């Protein structure tokens, strides 16, 4: 950590020409959750995001529009700033690489490296990709296309300036090996190490001649050149600390960064270019560079040509910012690729946010209103409640420390679901009918209020507006007070509070009445009336075929205890389980990896189909089938709560 009392979190700076899409929202929401969480932990947080505004593509787009590049950037920048406000992003600063202060700091670093003879002049001939604004060697290029974006490239011969990046290769390898958390997740760390250990790291061209590109930061030692856009962009993480914090100077306070969040496509520039630049400048390297996955849409890669680029603005307008934030971090484990669909979003809103969380808030407050005149009663703490809540708060704490957003939300939902089950079992509406059980009734109601406060604090980083609603409806200040985790378990301020029941936290959505169009591009022109197909009634799905009791009895359902679990390489969905059936041990491959992390499965007693024929999934033998609930995606695993011997028949 850069210090025990600070936390510095950054997103990449987004390309100003881009239309803000789900990928931008994903990274920024994740960073916001971390920023809010560490503020709750009592740290001084600096959360930085912003825009990359230099380079050839910006220059070309401005020329096409017939405007000055700066005017072009000024016109586009508000699209990102307005989206962050809509998504309730709590960034402390928004940097633009056209800021005069940033330009000055970039030039200062360039001059330092030049004075240290770490920048030199040379001629270079190579294949150049305008879209990616980078050179490729002959061995990189196939069929005249860029290896990254697959667009046509051109051969250029230029005189340029080069940064001696190659001389830091061995030092960077040692740093990656010595710091397990430097590049995360582990699969990305292995990729970078594999690259560094198998290929010679060359020097980096860090200039472009003004005759070809004038829109950039001028080299301080040669005004005929501007600097390479990546040297300019990466410096933002340091330059921002010099001129954007309200309290200055902040560089020494916050650097090195605790976390750089990036997409996996720009990991190399951050793990290699940025790291070697910092080494050359004798500056500490960031603690963690975390590269997350990409989003597809209904199973297809997002692209403008397909017209399926998800517009976060439209999603938020239709479903709300907090529901969208929840979905982004709940749908897939952070670090893996994810798939977006409106159906999946609506499914989580209706089942988890409306039925689970919203229903818990509503029924708890209704009972406090009915049985205690709307005032939270004084009562003794229940040990089971304190133990359960304390254990879940500790798990959430640990998961967020490790950027395991989905697992943190899973733990929170255990509290939501167990409290709903507690209400059903305790049946306060029955207890209220007996005048001799007032003390017991007050204990139940106090426990419900306590859980609501705990949930309000735990959910605040993820869903700040709805968390504030939970707290304010429970009669508390809308913002969590005190530091996490103590604030989540301090219920001393509840007795005597008058609740303020409000509207439904998450109204259920009629799946047939969704009006959202999730793409950011213009809609495809509708067909003319003469060519439009005649509307037809939606076909009613056929009823599932019925089976006899004799056919059902052929299925052997048994309990099995999970002994070990691990992910199947190259699959975000499959998990390989070793399970005990008492007298035997089996291996089963289950498609539950988007819902569960392997280590949370160990020790669970699950239900399997025990007499299924041997199958192979991705070449791995599977001797059975795990039972889980979910129409399309797995929503929950069928488990046995009581102590049952492995291998017991399920009837």
Domains identified in the chain, total number: 3
Q: Is 255 helix (H, G, I), strand (E, B) or coil?
A: coil
20-46 per-position pLDDT tens digit: 999 999 999 999 999 999 999 999 999
376-387 per-position pLDDT tens digit: 999 988 788 888
Determine the Cα–Cα distance for residues 48 and 525; give it in Å rounded to an integer.
40
Q: Is pLDDT above 80 for 508?
A: yes
Q: Is pLDDT above 50 for 409?
A: yes
164: which DSSP letter?
-
Mean pLDDT of the chain: 87
Determine the Cα–Cα distance for residues 624 and 576; give it in Å rounded to an integer.
12
Average pLDDT over residues 385-400: 92
Residue 221 resides in a domain: yes
Q: Are residues 24 and 133 in the same domain?
A: yes
Q: Is pLDDT above 70 for 545?
A: no
Domain boundary among 292, 309, 328: 292
Question: Which residues, other chains included, contact 92 with Cβ-Cβ below 8 Å and sequence gap of 6+?
Answer: 35, 45, 46, 47, 48, 244, 245
Cis peptide before 561 (omega within 30 of 0): no
Which pLDDT band holds residue 487 (cuts at 50, 70, 90)?
Answer: confident
Residue 320 resides in a domain: no
Q: Is 72 left (phi over 0), alpha (psi -120 to 50) or beta?
A: alpha
Average pLDDT over residues 344-348: 94
Name the strand (E) or helix (H) holding 205: strand 204-205
Q: Which residues face 574 on adjacent strands?
A: none
Cis peptide before 249 (omega within 30 of 0): yes
Q: Are residues 597 and 477 in the same domain?
A: no
The model carries a pTM of 0.77
Maximum CA extent, the chain: 93
Q: Are residues 252 and 350 in the same domain?
A: no
Q: Are residues 52 and 148 in the same domain?
A: yes
439-477 per-position pLDDT tens digit: 999 999 999 999 999 999 999 999 999 999 999 999 998
Q: Are residues 210 and 357 in the same domain?
A: no
Lowest-confidence region among 332-346, 365-379, 397-411, 535-549: 535-549
Tokens standing for 407? 């697992």
Which pLDDT band holds residue 256 (cuts at 50, 70, 90)?
Answer: very high
CATH number at residue 172: 3.40.50.620
Q: Are residues 373 and 288 in the same domain?
A: no
Average pLDDT over residues 303-323: 87
Q: Are residues 84 and 224 in the same domain?
A: yes
Average pLDDT over residues 530-544: 39
Residue 139 resides in a domain: yes
pLDDT at position 530: 31
Report H helices in 179-215.
Answer: 186-198
Residue 535 resides in a domain: no
Residue 378 resides in a domain: yes
623-650 per-position pLDDT tens digit: 899 988 876 678 778 888 777 778 888 8
Q: Is 132 helix (H, G, I), strand (E, B) or coil?
A: coil
Question: Which residues, other chains included, contact 6 with Cβ-Cβ below 8 Å and sequence gap of 6+?
Answer: 43, 44, 45, 46, 253, 254
Q: Are residues 283 and 344 in the same domain?
A: no
Percent of the chain past pLDDT 70, that is, above it, reads 90
CATH number at residue 346: 1.10.730.10
Residue 333 resides in a domain: no
CA dist 322 to 14, 87, 316, 464, Å? 22, 8, 8, 7
Determine the Cα–Cα distance for residues 77 and 265; give it in Å rounded to an integer.
22
Average pLDDT over residues 392-403: 95
Average pLDDT over residues 417-425: 93
Q: Are residues 484 and 598 in the same domain?
A: no
Domain boundary among 234, 265, 292: 292
Range of the structural domain that residue 559 is part of: 549-637
Determine the Cα–Cα distance for residues 557 and 559; give it in Å rounded to an integer.
7
Name the strand (E) or helix (H) holding 155: strand 154-163
Please give the residue that has the higher pLDDT: either 246 or 138.
246
Lowest-confidence region among 403-412, 526-535, 555-564, 595-604: 526-535
Q: Are residues 158 and 13 in the same domain?
A: yes
Average pLDDT over residues 601-611: 88
182-227 per-position pLDDT tens digit: 999 999 999 999 999 999 999 999 999 999 899 999 999 999 999 9
CATH number at residue 626: 2.40.50.140
Name the strand (E) or helix (H) holding 72: helix 69-86
Q: Are residues 279 and 389 in the same domain?
A: no
pLDDT at position 527: 31
Work out the burial of residue 523: count CB atoms within 10 Å of its CB; fewer than 13 is exposed, 13-18 middle, 19 or more buried. exposed
pLDDT at position 152: 84
Q: Are residues 198 and 52 in the same domain?
A: yes
Residue 506 resides in a domain: no
Domain boundary among 263, 292, 321: 292
Percent of the chain past pLDDT 90, that is, above it, reads 62
Residue 571 resides in a domain: yes
Q: Helix 359-371 vs helix 405-426: angle between axes, to the nearest 10 degrees?
A: 40
């Amino acid at each position: 950590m850069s210090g025990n009392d600070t936390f510095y979190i950054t997103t990449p700076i987004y390309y100003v020409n881009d239309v803000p899409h789900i990928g931008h929202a994903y990274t920024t929401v994740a960073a916001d959750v971390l920023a809010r969480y560490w503020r709750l932990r009592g740290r001084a947080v600096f959360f930085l995001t912003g825009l990359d505004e230099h380079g050839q593509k910006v220059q070309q787009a401005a020329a096409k529009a017939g405007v000055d590049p700066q005017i072009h950037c000024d016109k586009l920048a508000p699209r990102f700033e307005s989206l962050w406000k809509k998504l309730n992003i709590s960034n402390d600063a928004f940097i633009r690489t056209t800021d005069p202060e940033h330009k000055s700091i970039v030039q200062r670093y360039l001059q330092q490296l030049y004075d240290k003879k770490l920048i030199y002049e040379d001629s270079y001939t190579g294949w150049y990709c305008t879209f990616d604004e980078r050179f490729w060697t002959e061995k990189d290029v196939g069929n005249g296309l860029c290896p990254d974006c697959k667009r046509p490239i051109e051969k250029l011969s230029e005189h340029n300036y080069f940064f001696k990046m190659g001389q830091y290769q061995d030092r960077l390898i040692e740093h990656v090996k010595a710091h397990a958390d430097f590049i995360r997740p582990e699969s990305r760390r292995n990729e970078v190490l594999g690259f560094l250990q198998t290929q010679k790291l060359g020097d980096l061209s860090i200039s472009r001649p003004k005759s070809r590109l004038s829109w950039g930061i001028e080299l301080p030692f040669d005004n005929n050149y501007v600097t390479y856009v990546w040297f300019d962009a990466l410096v933002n993480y340091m330059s921002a600390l010099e001129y954007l914090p309200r309290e200055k100077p902040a560089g020494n306070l916050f650097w090195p960064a605790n976390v750089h969040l990036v997409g996996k496509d720009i990991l190399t520039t951050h793990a290699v270019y940025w790291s070697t630049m910092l080494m050359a400048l004798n500056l500490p390297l960031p603690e963690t560079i975390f590269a997350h996955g990409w989003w597809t849409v209904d199973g297809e890669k997002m692209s403008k040509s397909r017209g399926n680029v998800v517009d976060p603005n439209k999603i938020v307008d239709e479903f709300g910012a907090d529901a969208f934030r929840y979905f982004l971090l709940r749908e897939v484990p952070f670090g893996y690729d994810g798939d977006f669909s409106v159906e999946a979003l609506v499914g989580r809103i209706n089942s988890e946010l409306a039925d689970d969380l919203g229903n818990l808030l509503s029924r708890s407050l209704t009972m406090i209103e009915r049985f205690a005149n709307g005032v939270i009663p004084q009562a003794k703490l229940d040990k089971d409640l304190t133990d359960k809540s304390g254990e879940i708060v500790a798990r959430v704490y640990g998961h967020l420390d490790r950027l395991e957003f989905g697992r943190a939300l899973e733990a929170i939902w255990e509290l939501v679901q167990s409290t709903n089950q507690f209400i059903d079992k305790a049946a306060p509406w029955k207890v209220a009918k007996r005048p001799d059980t007032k003390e017991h009734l007050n204990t139940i109601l106090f426990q419900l209020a306590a859980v609501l406060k705990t949930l309000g604090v735990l959910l605040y980083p993820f869903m700040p507006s709805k968390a504030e609603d939970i707290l304010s409806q429970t009669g508390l200040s809308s913002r969590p007070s005190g530091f996490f985790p103590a604030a989540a378990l301090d219920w001393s301020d509840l007795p005597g509070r008058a609740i303020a029941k409000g509207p439904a936290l998450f109204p259920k959505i009629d799946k047939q009445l969704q009006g959202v169009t999730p793409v950011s591009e213009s809609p495809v022109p509708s067909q003319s009336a003469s060519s439009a197909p005649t509307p037809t009634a939606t076909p009613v799905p056929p009823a599932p075929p019925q089976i006899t009791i004799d056919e059902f009895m052929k299925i052997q359902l048994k309990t099995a205890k999970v002994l070990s679990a691990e992910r199947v390489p190259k699959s975000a969905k499959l998990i390989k389980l070793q399970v005990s059936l008492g007298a035997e041990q089996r291996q089963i491959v289950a498609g539950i990896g988007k819902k569960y992390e392997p280590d949370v499965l160990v020790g669970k007693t699950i239900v399997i189909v025990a007499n299924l024929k041997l199958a192979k999934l991705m070449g791995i033998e599977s001797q059975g089938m795990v039972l889980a609930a979910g129409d399309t995606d797995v929503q929950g695993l069928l488990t046995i709560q009581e102590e049952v011997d492995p291998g017991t028949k399920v009837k």
